[in-house]
A and B are shown apart, each in its own frame.
Chain A
């Protein structure tokens, strides 16, 4: 089993390394981010430098989450569209293992890129004489967890949707939409007094809201860390909550993706 996991994970990593689509996405983003960096070079105060660093760090972390979604989407859709999985599943390699290797490879790439972004942020802090704060590590770890959840979500979507439709689906049916719908139903329920349908709908929207991965699951609690890069000792616990949320979401999407994958016809 170890050898199978190793072989599949290495093959996925090779895929990521050679995917021109991912490379193009990365390069275009870097180009745009570099243009955004230009004003920061001319910053002449520590406060301005800190604001620039915050902006750059946030932009790169947002990019990482998009990139992780791309990793998940492409690793699944490319193998399904070129029908190469029949070569895997006619060997003693079960779908759960292959899927786990896809999750693992996406997580490894996300971890590597998060490390790069963190290193870059620390380097910029030194360069601009901005104090290096623990918040950078906190945000990086939080971003990595969000990347894992997002990649799991897109792996799941790609098992039954065309990649373009999967992207559109994710953009339309996002957490904000379900939150808004839940509030709407809640208000309607409040006005009507009672209603089984409305009550059920509220629960459905609540579940969907929780199911759709969020980039910052505990935003209301960790907002100050993102703005000041300072982490009060008691706030590290939110990282643990994030980990729990990510593991739950990833586990759910792993099982759902497996369900769809095993019902596919590999011809």
Chain B
């Protein structure tokens, strides 16, 4: 029985993760606890005292899925920049991979798949911490994990396709500051997008993170609308597929030309 090339690429990434897990434990468990404590409980207490709820949800319940999915996005974005340039240029492991039967497109696909899986690990840890703090009212909440994974893939696929074309990491901090951070703040993570000025609301709906956050929130609160769910999933899958058309080509150009 042969193992698909994509999975063989994931195996390598997983082994690196297992070997280095101690360094990653902090970001996996401690960061969600800090976020939820500060935003959910600290700020949430103020919000509850002031207006009672956000869209019928306690603020902690509102913000927990937002932070869960947004953390997955941040992790995926970071993993799609420096490690990609490292594999292509600094450490050059990608060149070692494409010398084997595994092709550049499969390497790209495996990398995106791994990033999604790794984000799901982080999301699972986040969900556990959130549940312990009483921020996950619904048992559907476990579905926030695949929602986070899908959202991570929707970010990893395009950013990885971009990173492989780069010769230096100069553009990466700009992507973080001008792309990832604004999305983090304005994609319905901390407040519903109907709080935004009317003209900006359509832009928030273009954010893949908003779709991911809505999916995650539907899961943890158990309140959902089937049409909206299908739309969110379709948008995120669309992001991955369209990006992959570029990513496969960009990997081939960089590694096998």
Report whether chain A binds chain B. Answer: no
- Interface residues of chain B, those whose CB is within 8 Å of chain A, are none
- Interface residues of chain A, those whose CB is within 8 Å of chain B, are none
